[in-house]
Amino acid sequence: MTAPDNILENGQENGSGTGTVAALETVATATCFGGTQGTYAHHSVVTGTAMRFAVFTPPGDGPFPVLFWLSGLTCTEDNFTQKAGAQRVAAELGLILVMPDTSPRGDDVPDDPDGAYDFGLGAGFYVDATVAPWARHYRMYSYIRDELPPLVAAHFPADMDRRAISGHSMGGHGAITIALKNPHMFRSVSAFAPIASPSRCPWGQKALSGYLGPDRAAWRGHDACALIGDGARLPDLLVDQGAADPFLDEQLQPHLLREACADAGQPLTLNLRPGYDHSYFFVASFIEDHLRWHAAHL
C-alpha cells in the first residue's frame, strides 16, 4: 500500500454531519517495516482549523483493522509515531495505526493565558468545549468520533468494522471515555496510565471546568468512573500503569477505575508495572502486548 498522493480529493458523504470528506494533503511519508508511515493534513470542519494526523499502513492490500491512538498532554501526532516503536508489530499483525493531534492549533486558536502545559494547545482533553472562547475550536471529541474515521475510511485501506482505540495519560482518558460513550464504534479498548477520573484530579478539574464550565453534572460524560457508574459498559478493558509514575497518586488514580469497574461488574485487566514511570519508555515496553491484545479482539 502506498501513501496517498500529495492532494487527494474525495466527495463522499461521510454520514457524520460534517459534510463531504475533506481533501487530504500528504505532509511526509517514509517506508517503515515494509509499510508506509505518513503524516497528513486537512481542513477540519469540526474544529474550524487545519488538523494533522499520522497513519501507519502495513504492507499488503488490505483492508486492515484500525487502531486509533490518542496521545497525552503536550503531545502531537509525532510522539507515539516516533517513540512507541509500534510499527514493527503493527506490520506483522496487519494493523493500521492512526495517531491524531491532541488539540486544534493555529494563530486564532486560544491557549492557556498563563502558558501552562495542561490546558489549551496540546491539551484538548477529547471533549467538546461549551465555554467561550474554547467552544469555537476545541471540539476534539467530535473530531475523533465523527470526522477522523470517515477520512481514514476514504483514504486508506481500512476495515472500519474492525476498530480499536487506545491512548496514554490524557489520551487514555479520551480512549476510555469515547469508547464508553460509543460502544458500537470499537471492538477493543486499552490505555496506558489513563487519567481515571478527571473530576477528581487537578488536571481534569482544570480542563473540565475550563472547557465545560462549573456544572459538575456536565463533567460526568467525560469521566470514565462516572460513566461506568452511570451504566456505560465495554466488553473488556486493558490498562497498564507504571508503579513509579510521578503522577500516579494525585492525577491518575487507577484505584478509582479499579473500584468503579469492580462495583459495576465491568471487566478490567489492570497491570501495575513496578519501576516504570509515565514516559514513552514505559509505553514502548508494553505496546506490543496491547497491539497483540487488540489484534486478538479484531
Domains of the chain, by residue range, sit at: 26-297
Q: Is the pLDDT of residue 19 over 60?
A: no
* Cβ neighbours around 245 below 10 Å, total: 21
Per-residue confidence band for 64, with pLDDT thresholds at 50, 70 and 90? very high
Residue 169 appears among annotated catalytic residues = yes
- Beta carbons within 8 Å of 222's beta carbon, 6+ residues apart: 125, 126, 127, 141, 173, 177, 198, 208, 212
Place of cell 496540546: 122
In the set 155, 168, 173, 278, the catalytic residue is 278
Per-residue confidence (pLDDT) for residue 20, from 0 to 100: 65
Rounded CA separation 38/56 (Å): 6
What percent of the chain stands above pLDDT 70? 93
Residue range 180-206: average pLDDT? 98
**Alpha-carbon torsion (139, 144, 146, 151), positive or negative:** positive
Q: Is the pLDDT of residue 56 over 60?
A: yes
Q: Is the pLDDT of residue 12 over 60?
A: no
In the set 245, 285, 290, 294, the catalytic residue is 245
Q: Is the pLDDT of residue 150 over 50?
A: yes
Q: Is the pLDDT of residue 85 over 90?
A: yes
Q: Is the pLDDT of residue 217 over 90?
A: yes
Per-residue confidence (pLDDT) for residue 145, from 0 to 100: 98
Q: Is the pLDDT of residue 138 over 50?
A: yes
Inter-residue contact 169 to 72 (CB < 8 Å) = yes
Inter-residue contact 298 to 164 (CB < 8 Å) = yes
Per-residue confidence (pLDDT) for residue 22, from 0 to 100: 76
Tell if the pTM clears 0.75, that is, is over it. Answer: yes
Q: What is the mean pLDDT of the chain?
A: 94
Residue 71 appears among annotated catalytic residues = no
In the set 103, 169, 197, 285, the catalytic residue is 169
Superfamily of domain 26-297: Alpha/Beta hydrolase fold, catalytic domain (3.40.50.1820)
Inter-residue contact 85 to 181 (CB < 8 Å) = no
- Name residue 31's beta-bridge partners: 36
Per-residue confidence (pLDDT) for residue 16, from 0 to 100: 40
Residue range 183-191: average pLDDT? 97
List helix spans (H) across 59-98.
78-83, 87-93
Angle at 183 between CA 124 and CA 36, to 5 degrees: 65
- Name residue 56's beta-bridge partners: 37, 97
